[in-house]
Structure 1
């Protein structure tokens, strides 16, 4: 066990986790930019490519509780190194894949598993176990903002690379950028780091059984499912939506970048807010605002300015749902198995993500646009706002565990 961290060390640990998330989320959230050039190059069809990305959405979530459980038991260092290496391998292999099955392997399995192992459940869990209670809320916001900053940086850079050296060269460049994050792992999980031990807690599976029997935890899953549907649909198909509106590809890449930049603000605000306000009300407001924003978008003229304003509004809540969601899990069950239990909520998020990415492709092939997906998105976002309200955020018998 490491000594208690000073304020400077707290910031260093937080920024290291944010830097790793910047790379893994920046890579993952920019894959929609490859859909059109990949389709042109391979002729596989939008539905086939969307299915591979949809499998990736699910696998990114499925690996979260498993990676979190390993990190909770053995420490996060090896998990993070393995994740970054596997992500790089998946990116490097993608240009060689000329079939739907090949894309499922490279993008749906390898890239998704790698980015998932180096994502929220492991990073937030690792940081929470090393940071004092007073720093955890703001730290989760900063870490989350790192993922958003990655989207802001990676989307325009990858779009420029696609235009200048082709999508294959851009994908290989992405593999190299991923490996550049490896030194940050040693900062977050230095040699000698061990996961904290607990006495007579029954182990991880006992914690999972207890959590799955908690109504509030299940309601949190339901809301996060909708969040995944919304984000995966947009990150996968926003470039196609821009194309349908007759606008250049640069509008899509800059819209994704604006979402990332705006979410830096949203994440920092959310991280600060969880220390002052009830997290379930923060989540209800976020989800409700999404339903309203999508409705306004559907009524607005489809210009570049509309997409940029839409992206800025979306970005305020894009992944800013993570700090309050993680905070509720921590309040309910403590931080000992936070990586595992928050990983399970991310699995629910990505089941929604699988449906958002895949059904978006099917809707496009069937109807020639995304109208019905937008309507479904509005309904699910409104429902998510409602289901968060009954959550019992901090049962008295478990508050002590959160410290």
Structure 2
């Protein structure tokens, strides 16, 4: 491929990948706005809604491993199309579910599986294979920034749809909109995957996964990502209810989440760009420690609109900024042949943390009438994540002379 074609290919991959992540993550980030309308209309507890979203995050992480394997084997296009269809069915069912069990099935299992096939693990696999290593961390930052822009863009849209059409009709509209992922996925059809045949690889899936699980730095990155999921999903889902409990209007909550999305555009982009120049382990440790400091100050100062908006801006800078350096480090250590699968495995840890954060938020609120315990846990876990990322070794792993062929 000549330099001009390579540049055009990178632009196409970045544009289509960024728009897919914008749509998929933008819809997902707005689920916190449905907590009160759904629970009040259905007569359910906050724990019921929280459990469904917790299942969603767990299903997303678990299915992400297999979505990554399929994308590495057959290419991203097929996985993205299947994910878009599941997403549409899940959103429709989320609106139509008459009981908590079906709500958990649609909002939890189906949408979680759909997100596994339409977000970072799959998109980053394409970026890792198609973008030059010198620009890989930057490109991943662009994709993460796109997901953040989706949050900023979609949250006001979600709020408007709920207010104008009601929460059920708003979900039906989003169910149709998410199918736009299918034509965008066409731009991510990789030439090496024609006919359903993956390019020849030096490692089998089993050997690649076994190698990663025996490597301490991979486990440390995985542990840190657990904390990332715990913090961001707890805040993203429960922040609107936390603010309402303290007397603030839904508009303040919507603005708060939108500010997180807006500032995360910059945080994610710069984290990716800095990952090309500085040690990513130090970037990750700084992000996690910064989150703990931000949450501590948020709880200490008197709660007001200015303090809410300042906290939202600061936490937004640190929101998805862990994603580019984490995935770029995995790619640098292990290579890109199984990047979607290994990225999915790391993300599974993130989603276990997400499950714990969102479920504990609802459960402990129903038990104690307060979110305080989960806020304190978020602070402690942030310090833990900062410490475990510092020993990570970023150099490519040393392999034996005899490859483990697929």
Return 5+ residue gaps in structure 2 as ranges.
Answer: none
TM-score (normalised: structure 1): 0.95
Deviations 1:78-134 (A, max 9, x none): 100110111011001111112110111110011111122111010010122122222
SS class of match (2:398): helix
* Residue equivalent to 1:367: 368
* Deviation by residue 1:272-331 (Cα, 9 ceiling, x = unmatched): 111101110000000000000000000122112211111110111101101100011011
Aligned to 1:270: 271
Offset at residue 9 of structure 1 (A) = 2.9
* Alpha-carbon separation, structure 2, partners of 1:165 and 1:72: 41
Matches within 5 A, 1:246-265: 246-265=247-266
Aligned residue in 2 for 1:92:
92
Corresponding residue number in structure 2 for 1:49: 49
The yes-or-no answer on 1:184 pairing with 2:184 is yes
Greater mean alpha carbon deviation, residues 339-348 or residues 130-139 = 130-139
* Equivalence map 1:243-392=2 (5 Å): 243-392=244-393
Q: In 1, distance between residues paired with 2:248 and 2:75?
A: 47
- How many angstroms does 1:151 deviate by? 0.5
Counterpart position of 1:25: 25
Give the distance between the partners of 2:188 and 2:305, measured in 1 at CA: 40
Q: Retained in 2: the 8 A contact 1:216–1:392?
A: yes
The residue aligned with 2:74 is 74
- Cα deviation for residue 135 of structure 1 reads 2.4
Deviations 1:214-271 (A, max 9, x none): 1110011110000000011011101111111100011111111111110110111011
Q: Shift of residue 17 of structure 1?
A: 0.3
1:197 to 196, 199, 203: 199
Give the Cα–Cα distance (whole angstroms) in 2 for the partners of residues 330 and 308 of structure 1: 35
Taking the aligned partners of 2:253 and 2:189, their CA distance within structure 1 comes to: 36
> Is the contact between residue 192 and residue 198 of structure 2 (CA under 8 Å) also seen in structure 1?
no
Q: CA deviation at 1:190?
A: 5.7
* Native 8 Å contact 2:87 2:175 kept in 1: yes
**Which string of whole-angstrom CA distances, capped at 9 and with x for unpartnered residues, describes residues 157-193 of structure 1?**
1011111110001111111220122211011226774
- Partner residue in 1 for 2:241: 240
8 Å Cα contact 2:193/2:199 also seen in 1: no
- Report SS of the residue matched to 1:6: helix
The corresponding residue for 1:213 is 214
Whether the 8 Å CA contact 2:135–2:276 is kept in 1: the answer is no
Q: CA deviation at 1:138?
A: 1.3
TM-score by length of 2: 0.95
Q: Give the Cα–Cα distance (whole angstroms) in 1 for the partners of residues 65 and 2 of structure 2.
A: 27
Query: How many angstroms does 1:6 deviate by?
Result: 2.8
Question: What is the alpha-carbon distance in structure 2 between the residues aligned to residue 154 and residue 191 of structure 1?
Answer: 33
Unmatched 5+ residue regions in structure 1?
A: none
Aligned pairs, number: 398
Partners in 2 of 1:326 and 1:27 — Cα distance?
A: 23
- Aligned equivalents of 1:38, 1:29: Cα separation in 2: 16
Q: Which residue in the other structure is 2:173 paired with?
A: 173
